[in-house]
Structure 1
Amino acid sequence: MKFSSQVGTRLLHTAAAGAAVVLAATACQPIQALEPAPEREDITSIPIGDREVREGGDLVMALSAEPDRLDPTTSSSLYTRYVMQTMCQKLYDIDAEGELVPQLATELPEVSDDGLTVTIPLRGDAVFADGAKFNAEAVRTTLERHLTLDDSSRKSELGPISSIEAVDETHVRITYKTPFAPLTAALADRAGMMLSPKALEETGKDFGDHPVCVGPFKFVERVPQTSIKVERDPLYYDAANVHLDTITYRIITDANIRAANLRSGDVQVADTISPQDVDALMQEDGVGVLQVGSLGYQGLTINTGNTEGVGEPVGEIDTPLAQEAAVRMALSMSIDREALVNTVFNSWFEPACSPISPASPFSSELSEDCPPYDPEGAKALLKEAGIETPYAIEMQVSNTPDTLRFAQALQAAVADGGFKLTILPVEYSTLLDVQSRGDFEMLQLGWSGRVDPHGNMFNFLSTGGGNNYSGYNDPEVDQLLKSAAQVNDDAERAELYGEVVQRLQEDNPLIYLYRQRSLTAYTNNVAGIETFADGVVHLSNAAFLADSQELEGEN
C-alpha cells in the first residue's frame, strides 16, 4: 500500500494536536488476503478487415442507462456520448492508443510561439445533416455557444478565450488571454462537436430535441426511456464507408436483460457488461467482448457548498461532513479500496485514489499515492473532531445491480471507521439532475475520463466549474489547475497535477474509489465496432457480416 507523505498536512494545521499524534501512531491495517488481480489485455475493436459485409440493416445497441439531453453544449452523460458519436463529429478525436487525431480538422492546431494564438485548419468537403455548409464560421458559432449559453457545461473546458475568428472558409483562429495547453484534448470531446448554425438559429435552447451535426448518421427520433434512433446521412462526406441503414439505441438498464437480448440476437451490441456476467459470456459461442481500461474514475462526491446548483456561487452547508475536512478524511481512511473492488467486481476493475489514471503520461508518484486504509485512525479522527459515532451519511446511488452491490459493501466496510451509511437508490438520469441541483449530502457517480487530466479535474474542482457538483472552493487548487493548463511540458504539468491530488486528499470533496474496465459485448455477425479508453463505443463504421461469414465470429 502506498502513502502520500503530505496527506493530512494542511488538515493537521487546523485539527487538534491530539489528532496529529493519532495519525502518526496508527499503523495501516493490512488488506485482507486476496488473489492477485489477473493481467487484462485490451481488445479495442472487432475490425472488418477483408471480410465481406452486408450493406444496410438496422443495428441495435443496448444502453445501460438513458442519455441526458442530446445537446453537446449542456450534456454530461457518457451514454449521450455513445449516441452523439454517430451523429456529431468533432474537430479532433482519440484513437486506440489514446493519441489525438484530426476529424473535422485536417491537422493538429498550429500554436504561436507565445501560446496565445491557435489556428485550426478545417475540412472543406463537409456539410451538416440539414445541408448547411461546415466552415470556419460554423465552428466559431458553435464555440461561441459553448462559451455563452447559460447552462453550458463546456465553458470551463475551453479555457480563457478572448476571441474566435473565422479567418477564411477553412481556418479558424482562437486567441487566448493566457496559454491553454488542453485545448486539442477538449476539442476531441463534446466541446469539439460542431453544431449546424441553421439548426441553432431555428431551435436555440431546444437544439437537443432534434440535434443536427456533421456525422455518418443523423437524428430520427427519441422515445423517452425507451430508445433513440439515427439513420444514415447521405450528405456525409465519407458516406461510402457507412454500411448500416439505421442504429437504434435501446435503453435496457438491467444487465441480465441486456445479456439475454444479446444471446437471443435481439440486440447486437451491449455496453457495460457486469463483471458478474462477463466471464461466462466470454465462453459462449456467437458472442465476443471488447475490453479496455478507463481514463476515468468512480467516486464519492460530497456536497461541501453546492446550495444553488452547479456553477453557482458556493453556499454554506451546516453539517460536519460538509464543513470538517477531518470527517471527510476519516471516511476516506475507512475504505479498503482494493479489497472492495476485487471482491465486488471479481477483480475486473481497479482501485483508484485520484482522477489521473496510472496509464496517463501525466501520472506521477503523488497522483498514484493512496490515503491509508486505517479504520481505527478514522474513528480517532472523528473523536478528536468531537463527532459522535456512528456518524450518519445519506448516499444516493444509481439503482443498477452492480452499483447497489458496491454501495452495500461500502456501507458495511465504513462502519468499522465509525460511519453509518444510508443508501438511497435513484434512476441514473435522476441522479444526474440531483448532482446538478446540489440536492444531496453524498452521492456515488463517476466520470468516463479524458486523455488530458484537465478534462478530469478542472471542471470538477475549480471554483464555479461546470461539473463542480461538490461546490468545492479552494483558491490554491484553482491556481494550480490554471498553472497546469498554461504549461506545455508534460513532466511539469504532471508535477502540478500531482500537487492538486495532494490537496484533494487533504480536503476530500471527491473521494476516488475505483476505475472501471469498459466491457462491451457484441454478436459475431457484426464487425467494425470500437471502444477506446474514454469509454465511448464507436458504431459509425459498423456492419453486418455477409451471411456466409456470420457464424465465424471472434471470441
Structure 2
Amino acid sequence: MRRLLALAAVALTVAACGSSASENASQGTASSTAEGGTLRWAINANASWDPVTSAAGNEVRHLGLVYAALIQIDQQGQATPGLASAWKFEDKGLKLVLTLRPDVTFSDGAKLDATVVKRNLERAKNQPGSVLTQLLDSVKSVDVVDPSTVRLNLSYPDYGLPLVLGGKAGMQVSPKALDGDIKELPRKPVGAGPFKLTNFVPDGSSTLVKNPTYWDAKDIHLDGVELRYLNDPQAILAGLQSGSIDIASSTGNQIAAAKRAGLNVSTFPSLSAASIEINDALKPYTDHRVAEAINYALDREALIKTQNGGLGEPAFQPFPKGYVGYSEEVANLYPHDVAKAKQLLAEAGYPNGLDIDITYFDALGYKALTEQIQAQLAAAGIRSKLKTLPLAQAAERVYVKHDVAFNPNGIVGRESPLQMLNVQYGAEGLLNPGRKASPELTKDLKDAAQYPLDSAEYPAALQKATARAARESAVVFLFTQPTVFLATKKVSGLRPYIVAARLEGVRLAK
C-alpha cells in the first residue's frame, strides 16, 4: 500500500538497524526439507489470548500464532491479502470495502463470513474494556454487503486502516467462541491462524499444535510450538545449550555470550524501542520541564552500550531513522546535558533536586536498565527509590489504573505508523498514561490520516505529527531495539518481519 515511498523507507530502516548477512547467517543448518517437530520458544509471558483485552504490544506475536487477521502484514510492514483477499476505498476515503477469502474455517469448524467480521469489528470497537477502541476510532459503522463483502463506513478518511486491520484489531475470533462465555477467551482462544492452543499455564507455558485448516499453511512447517515463559537470561542460555529450548527472543547484551556458547544469533530490523512511560497527570510530571530535565540527564549512548550490547541507536521518537514516520526535526531533541537538566529542575521549582519513585517490571533486563537510569538521574540531582511491579500486573497498573508515575518500559511498534502515534500520544492512547494531547497534536494526527499511503503528502504530514508529539509528550524514548533471536543449529528459516516475529518458513531439524 505504501508503494515506492514505503519501500525506500524500509530499505533505509534496514540500513539504520545495522543488520547484515553475516550477522544473520544464523538461519541455521537444519535441512531445507525438514518438516514437523515442536519448536520450543523462550518468550515473554502473555496475559491474554483475547485480542480485545490483550494490552501489551508484544503479545501480538503470541496472538498471531492462533488468530488470522483481515490483512496480512509482510516482512517489510506492507499490507497484503489476509482473510480479506482484496480491499478498496470509496467515497473519497469514507468507505473501506473488504472482499473476504472464500472457504475459511476456524479451528473449531466454524465458517468465516461477512457477518462474523462485522461482529468481531463491533466487539473490538464497543466492548467495555476493549484496548482496541481507539484503533477503530474512524469506523462509524460496519455493513454486511453480502456474505463475502464487508463495508466499513468511516467518520473521516483513514487510509492507514488496512494496516491497522493487520494487527489485533483485525484478528477474527470464531463465532462459536463469541456465542459462548467471552470471559474465557483470554485463556481459551479460538481463531483461524496457523496454530491452535491446547494448554495455557499463566506465567508458565503455552502449548500449540498446527491448525490443519489454516488458509495460508504452505509456509508452516512445524507440527507445533511450545512457548516457555522465561525471564532469567542465564536460564535461557542454559536451556539453549542443553537443547531443552530451541529458540529465544533476546536482547543485544546476550549476543556475545550466545556466540561464545556456539549458538546462532539473528538480528533483524525492528520498530521496537526502549522508553520510559511517565504519567504527566501525576506530580511532579505535571510540569513538563521535569520530563525535559529527565531527557537531558540521560546518557543514551551509555545505556545502549551497557544494556543492549551496543546494538541500536539513541531515540527521541517511536520510529527508527529512515522509517516513513521518522522526523529529522527531533532527531537529537535532548542531547546529554546534565547542566541543562539541573537548570530545568530549578526553573520547575526544584533547585535542590527532586525525589521520585521508579517502578520497574520484574522481568528480563528491566532491573539493570532501571539501576543505570537511576545512577544517571542522580548525577542531575534526581534521587529515586526503586519499586518492582510483577509483569502480570503491568498493563492494568500502567495503562488501565494509571497509578504508576515513572516506568522504564518499551514499545514493539505497530502495524501502522499513524496507529503508533495515536497509541503512544493520542488523548485516548493506550500507551499514554497521562492521557494528555494538545488540540494541535490531535489535529495533526487526524490530518495525517486523510492522505493515501502512497501520496506525496503523507510522509510530511506524518512526520509533522511525530515532531510535535516528541516535543509535547512526557514519554522518554531511550534507544532503538533491533529484533534478536538466539537459536540452536536445529532452527532454520527465520525471516526478518519488521513489525512482529512470525513463524512462516521456520523449520526444525529432526
Residue of structure 2 aligned with 1:371, choices 321, 331, 334: 334
Q: Give the Cα separation in 2 of the matches to 1:265 and 1:224.
A: 23
- For normalisation by structure 2, the TM-score amounts to 0.90
Residue of structure 2 aligned with 1:514, choices 479, 491, 496: 479
Alpha-carbon deviation of 1:49? 9.9
C-alpha offsets along residues 429-480 of structure 1, whole Å, 9 cap, x if unaligned? 2222220211212111111012422121102222223333232232221111
Q: Give the Cα separation in 2 of the matches to 1:544 and 1:381.
A: 55
Alpha-carbon deviation of 1:366? 1.9
**Rg larger for:** 1
Q: Within 5 Å, which residues of 2 pair with 1:109-128?
A: 109-112=87-90, 114-128=92-106
Say if 2:28 and 2:264, in contact at 8 Å, map to a contact too.
no
Q: Give the Cα separation in 2 of the matches to 1:147 and 1:451.
A: 17
1:155 and 2:118 aligned: no
**Secondary structure of 2:275's partner?**
strand
**Alignment match, 2:303:** 340
Cα distance change, pair 494–296 in 1 and its aligned pair in 2 (3 A): farther
Q: Give the Cα separation in 1 of the matches to 2:162 and 2:38.
A: 34
Cα distance change, pair 516–238 in 1 and its aligned pair in 2 (3 A): closer
C-alpha offsets along residues 313-353 of structure 1, whole Å, 9 cap, x if unaligned? xxxx4x232x2111221111111222322243221122110
Percent identity between matched residues is 27
Q: Give the Cα separation in 1 of the matches to 2:325 and 2:346.
A: 38
**Alignment match, 1:457:** 421
User: Which consecutive residues of structure 1, in runs of 5 or more, have no partner in the other structure?
Assistant: 1-36, 306-316, 547-555
Residue of structure 2 aligned with 1:526, choices 491, 496, 501: 491
C-alpha offsets along residues 41-97 of structure 1, whole Å, 9 cap, x if unaligned? 274993999722143x3221111x210111111212245322222210111222222
Cα distance change, pair 59–507 in 1 and its aligned pair in 2 (3 A): same
What one-letter code is carried by the residue in structure 2 that aligns with 1:299? Answer: S
1:138 and 2:119 aligned: no
**Alignment match, 1:24:** none
Q: Give the Cα separation in 2 of the matches to 1:277 and 1:304.
A: 34
Say if 2:205 and 2:227, in contact at 8 Å, map to a contact too.
yes
Q: Give the Cα separation in 1 of the matches to 2:149 and 2:31.
A: 37
**Secondary structure of 2:158's partner?**
coil
**Alignment match, 1:278:** 255
1:351 and 2:314 aligned: yes
**Alignment match, 2:3:** none
Q: Give the Cα separation in 2 of the matches to 1:491 and 1:369.
A: 25
Residue of structure 2 aligned with 1:252, choices 203, 221, 230: 230
- For normalisation by structure 1, the TM-score amounts to 0.83
Q: Give the Cα separation in 1 of the matches to 2:212 and 2:427.
A: 44
Say if 1:389 and 1:419, in contact at 8 Å, map to a contact too.
no
1:61 and 2:24 aligned: no
C-alpha offsets along residues 512-541 of structure 1, whole Å, 9 cap, x if unaligned? 11111211122222334334222x332255
Q: Within 5 Å, which residues of 2 pair with 1:112-511?
A: 112=90, 114-239=92-217, 242-272=220-250, 274-285=251-262, 287-305=263-281, 317=282, 319-321=283-285, 323-400=286-363, 402-436=365-399, 437-488=401-452, 491-511=456-476
What one-letter code is carried by the residue in structure 1 that aligns with 2:428? Answer: G
Cα distance change, pair 253–180 in 1 and its aligned pair in 2 (3 A): same
What one-letter code is carried by the residue in structure 2 that aligns with 1:332? Answer: N
Alpha-carbon deviation of 1:266? 0.5
Say if 2:222 and 2:506, in contact at 8 Å, map to a contact too.
yes
Say if 2:58 and 2:412, in contact at 8 Å, map to a contact too.
no
Q: Give the Cα separation in 2 of the matches to 1:372 and 1:525.
A: 44
Alpha-carbon deviation of 1:192? 1.3
Q: Give the Cα separation in 1 of the matches to 2:379 and 2:339.
A: 8
Q: Give the Cα separation in 2 of the matches to 1:181 and 1:469.
A: 27
**Alignment match, 1:8:** none
Say if 1:356 and 1:456, in contact at 8 Å, map to a contact too.
no
